[in-house]
Amino acid sequence: MPSVWGLVPLTDQATVSMHNLINATSLQSRQSMSGAAVALAFALLLAGCGESQKQAAAPPPPAVTVAKAVKRQVIDFDEYVGRFVAVNSVEVRARVSGYLEAVDFKDGQRVKQGDLLFTIDKRPFQNSVAQARATLTQAKSNLSFTEADFTRGQQLVRDKTITDQTFEQRSQAFRNAQASVSGAEAALRTAELDLEFTELRAPIDGRIGDRRVSPGNLVTGGSGGNTTLLATIVSTDPIRFEFTFDEASYLRYERLAKGGQDVASRGGGVKVELKLIDEPEFTHIGNIDFVDNVIDRSTGTIRGRGVFDNPNGVFTPGMFARVRVPASPSYDALLVPDAAIGTEQARKYVMVVGADNTATTKYVILGQTTPDGLRVIKSGLGADDRVIVNGLMRARPGQKVTPQEAGAKPAAAAPAGAAPQKPK
């Protein structure tokens, strides 16, 4: 039925009434229709519109999934970035000068304490040992002669056969011979030690770097600062991890320690967790063994250090990683899925469903995220609140919803055109 004067279509009853009115009057009478007839027509039109609106069904409340917050014992953690450093690091340098004869390791291999690394030409030092031994033999021979002469002089001076001056000369010669023997023995030990130093052995267990000098080159040894660097060895098991934390965190740790809750202190034994840059979780466990005694004036941070076992050699000095340090004692907390949290500018909120199935907004303060994807709620949420964990975008504050408990089977779909049932 076409619309009349731009209005909505008439219902069947309104159409029949209008046709009866039109047929009962003539064309001239219709042109001069009274105001009462026009009012009657408008009343019929409004009645038809009301009946059409009543026939339209209201949309059902949106379906959402709800669950109560999980109650669990948690510990707050602070995360820091740091580097691994070796417990021991040694520069291999020669103690004696000479020509390098052999290299007895492969670059980058793991070495044990005492393993042979370098060999310097031994022949000059073997000659020095032989010479020192000959000098010692000569000194001992001289000592035997002066000792016998001194013994005879003791009897002769008692018999007044020699003068006191002659006896003193024999005594002096005997003492000089003893000193010569001592000096020759020391020279022999030095020569033997130099000969021993021609073999450079690993002072610690660890991994050695590449050789810095090839065989045939002259190596400068000694205790001065211009000695030749041959290689570097770093220990790998255990290994240390150094990181820095800010002054505010340091104060928080100290106050917790003074309150009997030692979560990160200098005393050691505090468990810390670590993960590498390609790992999703903190799976490596170590202990805090050191906190520095001063705060860096330029950065306002203080240095901490943990120790980790490294039996497989995965951790390498200089490698970056993240460490997680306990920042609070254990406490009871409520946790919800991270997907249930919404953002309103700078505030975080969750939607809860009341007893009358009305959605309500609750602003919360968030804590850390757990490995299983739950978020700690520090405040703003009750233990009995039903939180919308799925369908958050379909719910509006103050709007009725159709809640379904998480894990429950979905309700069977109603037949088409059937009126929605009220939730129990």
Q: Is the pLDDT of residue 303 over 60?
A: yes
Task: Tell me what the mean pLDDT of segment 43-62 comes to.
Answer: 59
Which 3 state secondary structure label does DSSP give 106? coil
- According to DSSP, residue 189 is labeled H
| 339-358 pLDDT, tens digit each | 888 888 888 999 899 889 88
Which of 12-26, 53-67, 98-112 bottoms out in mean pLDDT, i.e. has the lowest? 12-26
Give, rounded to a whole angstrom, the gap between the first and last alpha carbons of the chain. Answer: 45
* Helical H segments across 202-283, by residue range: 247-258
Task: Tell me what the mean pLDDT of segment 59-78 comes to.
Answer: 86
Alpha-carbon distance values, 90 to 104, 206, 328 (Å): 18, 10, 39
Task: Tell me what the mean pLDDT of segment 304-331 comes to.
Answer: 89
* Token digits of residue 137: 């033999």
* Helical H segments across 159-275, by residue range: 164-196, 247-258
pLDDT value of residue 402: 87
Task: Tell me what the mean pLDDT of segment 135-163 comes to.
Answer: 87
% of the chain at pLDDT higher than 90: 40
**Dihedral of the CA atoms 382, 383, 389, 394 (nearest 10)?**
-40
Q: Is the pLDDT of residue 70 over 50?
A: yes
Sketch the domain layout of the chain as residue ranges: 12-55, 63-72+331-405, 77-86+236-326, 90-234
Angle at 355 between CA 353 and CA 360, to 5 degrees: 30
Q: Is the pLDDT of residue 48 over 60?
A: no
CA distance 359 to 63: 11
**Cis status of the peptide bond prior to 423, with omega within 30 of 0:** no
Pick from 395, 404, 406: which is nearest to 342 by CA? 395
In this chain, the answer to whether the domains covering 63-72+331-405 and 77-86+236-326 adopt an identical fold is no
Alpha-carbon distance values, 4 to 8, 34, 41, 48, 352 (Å): 7, 18, 10, 13, 50
More confident residue, 63 or 45: 63
Domain 77-86+236-326, CATH among 2.40.30.170, 3.40.30.10, 3.40.640.10, 1.10.3720.10: 2.40.30.170
The mean pLDDT value of the chain amounts to 81
What's the CATH class of domain 63-72+331-405? mainly beta
pLDDT value of residue 142: 92
| 100-125 pLDDT, tens digit each | 999 999 999 999 999 999 999 999 99
Which of 17-31, 238-252, 340-354 bottoms out in mean pLDDT, i.e. has the lowest? 17-31
CA distance 176 to 243: 62
Pick from 320, 380, 330: which is nearest to 351 by CA? 380
CA distance 424 to 413: 16
Largest CA distance in the chain: 187
Rg (CA), the chain: 49
Cβ neighbors of 168 (< 8 A, separation 6 or more) are none
pLDDT value of residue 265: 55
Which 3 state secondary structure label does DSSP give 391? coil
* Helical H segments across 223-329, by residue range: 247-258
CA distance 262 to 84: 24
Please determine, looking at this structure, whether the domain spanning 90-234 carries the CATH number 2.40.50.100.
yes
CB of 376 within 8 A of CB of 72?
Answer: no
pLDDT value of residue 209: 92
**Dihedral of the CA atoms 189, 193, 196, 197 (nearest 10)?**
-170
% of the chain at pLDDT higher than 70: 79
CA distance 110 to 83: 21
Which 3 state secondary structure label does DSSP give 170? helix
More confident residue, 415 or 199: 199
pLDDT value of residue 319: 93
List % helix, strand, coil for the chain (3-state, nearest 5): 30, 30, 40
Task: Tell me what the mean pLDDT of segment 291-305 comes to.
Answer: 91
Task: Tell me what the mean pLDDT of segment 119-148 comes to.
Answer: 93
Task: Tell me what the mean pLDDT of segment 121-150 comes to.
Answer: 93
pLDDT value of residue 170: 86
* Token digits of residue 181: 């023997």
Cα 168 to the chain's mean position, in Å?
A: 79
pLDDT value of residue 60: 84
Angle at 332 between CA 329 and CA 336, to 5 degrees: 120
Q: Is the pLDDT of residue 337 over 70?
A: yes
Residue with tokens 């022949």: 123
More confident residue, 266 or 300: 300
CA distance 375 to 380: 13
Task: Tell me what the mean pLDDT of segment 313-337 comes to.
Answer: 89
- According to DSSP, residue 400 is labeled B
CA distance 227 to 97: 9
* Token digits of residue 192: 């033997």
Burial of residue 57 (CB within 10 Å: 0-12, 13-18, 19+) is exposed
CB of 372 within 8 A of CB of 408?
Answer: no
Q: Is the pLDDT of residue 298 over 60?
A: yes
pLDDT value of residue 109: 92
Q: Is the pLDDT of residue 190 over 50?
A: yes
Q: Is the pLDDT of residue 25 over 50?
A: no
CA distance 281 to 273: 9
Q: Residue 262: pLDDT band by 50, 70, 90 thresholds?
A: low
Q: Residue 75: pLDDT band by 50, 70, 90 thresholds?
A: confident
